Amino acid sequence: GPREVVLCDAENTPLALVTAGATVHDLPDVRPIRAFARGSGPHWDPSVRLTAAQTAASIGRDAREVLAIYREEGVLERALHNAEVLARGFEAIGRIAGVRRTRSLGMVAAADLGEAGYFGPLGWKVHAEARARGAFLRPLGNTVYLVPALTIPSGDLEHLVRITHDAIASALQAR
């Protein structure tokens, strides 16, 4: 029966996870793509051979299934609303003394704190403040960012943004 496989290029770099056994009659066969059975370790499994046509069919089918779930569950509509929540929250963060700039695009938002620098300590101070409030943030130097899942409930995102705001305010006030 069908099983999941990891598709790799000629250098064994993973490309995708798909279901083996897809049948495609109207697409031409081309050279097979290497596939490793999921969980089989680093060893090449010669019994799994997918053509590019089978690969395309499997990926296309999987993508259609994901999009159907997104439609049924309103994931994209919720993400649009949540992107606005994130943008408004980071606009408020931008008004905290010591925040150099904020930016957001869709479901990604970031705040640069203090002086520029990848190895700056402020992000880790915010990390500690956020942990004390129940959230785990992973900064990049003096930059604090959020990249929540598209499926995060709006109330959870609002709570996370409030924690981030309060953690930044506290960390900057203590410096």
Listing from the earlier edge strand, what are the strands of the sheet with 99-105?
99-105, 108-113, 143-146
For the segment 90-149, what is each residue's pLDDT rounded down to a tens digit?
999 999 999 999 999 999 999 999 887 778 899 999 999 999 999 999 899 999 999 998
Predicted model pTM = 0.65
Question: Residue 146 to residues 88, 114, 123: CA-CA distances in angstroms?
Answer: 13, 18, 12
Q: Quick one: 56 exposed, middle or buried, by C-beta within 10 A (0-12, 13-18, 19+)?
A: middle
* Residue entry with tokens 């994209």: 76
| Distance (Å, whole) CA 94 – CA 134 | 22
pLDDT digits (tens, 9 = 90+) for 116-133: 777 889 999 999 999 999
Write out the H or E segment, with its range, that includes residue 19.
Answer: strand 14-19
